[in-house]
Amino acid sequence: MSEEENPTPPVENPATPVTPRRVVAPKPKPVVDKEKKEDNKVVKLLERNPLGMTLPEMAGGTRQLKKIRTLRPMLAEAIRTGLVMPISQRAGHTVYRLVKNLGPR
């Protein structure tokens, strides 16, 4: 037997029993359903404002950099799932709207 097959080192004192390490199986990733999509903060903010919002507006101001950094991955996930689309620009920032609020102008 090689050392790879036997992870426990040899025991000098046989009076203390040594148990082998447990191998933990990786946890399966949860399936994304409707409840998971609704948990997105960006989607909740855009549901309240049908005209759309920019990322600094969602964060509460242009100086709220920490909030902008936390909202940016959520916004990217919402765009990838097809819930949100970039529409136009306002004051140099991209305006995002919910797809269900899009319609003829």
Any idea what DSSP says for residue 90? E
pTM for the whole thing? 0.61
List, in order of start, the domains of the chain with CATH numbers. Answer: 34-100 (1.10.10.10)
Tens-digit pLDDT profile for residues 19-40? 777 777 777 766 655 545 457 8
Q: Are 53 and 14 in contact (CB under 8 A)?
A: no
Question: pLDDT for 42-91, tens place per residue?
Answer: 999 999 998 999 999 999 999 999 999 999 999 999 999 999 999 999 99
- Alpha carbon distance 58, 68 (integer Å): 8
Q: What is the spatial order of strands in the sheet that 53-54 belongs to?
A: 53-54, 93-98, 84-90
